[in-house]
Amino acid sequence: MEDLEALKKRAEGGLNAGELSKGETIASGILAKTITFSKQAGQAIKQFDEQHKISETVVSKTNSAYKNVDEKLKLTETTATMKVKISEESQKLDEKFKVSATAGAAGEVVKNTSTGVVSKINENEAVKKATTAVSNAFSFLSQKATAIVSKAVAESEKEMPSAKAATAMDGVDGDDSSPKSTVPEA
């Protein structure tokens, strides 16, 4: 398999982790189409919501209902009073039983013990080698994932440049000169 051989070469340092194989290029293309479709769907949903004021209506009615329930049941007032009482009682119990001081001392003992254990483990050569190998593998995979996603995002932005501006604005109202959303062809 060509991709398996390329992966072996990269693992041995023969190829740059940023270079993409044929399969990875195909995967980034699929990811790019998915990103583009998601952006288009998001724009269409946002536009529909703005036209029909669905979010605005839901938020308004929810806030109104919450306010009515709160006024009738006095939830905010009761919660604030209970918070003060619980805090006062907690302080009294802590002073009486010295919970904070005891927990702090126990935490310090655990910290010192675990630090010693970890340093002893790290002195072992086999553990050092295994740690380095795992770290290198995760680093390689991270570089590979970053390269695939970067290529997919770049392809998506080529296909739908207006989505880049809309995403960058993140909900800020601008002019309506951007093209209308369309569903991509299969």
Element (H, E) at 173: none
CA-to-CA distance for 65 and 63, rounded, in angstroms?
5
* pLDDT, the chain, mean: 81
Q: Which of 1-10, 82-91, 128-137 has the highest mean pLDDT?
A: 82-91
Q: How far is CA 4 from CA 1, 22, 172, in A?
A: 5, 11, 46
Q: Tell me: the pLDDT tens digits for 108-131? A: 989 888 888 888 888 889 988 898
Q: Which of 7-11, 88-92, 173-177 has the lowest mean pLDDT?
A: 173-177
Q: Whole-structure pTM over 0.75, yes or no?
A: no
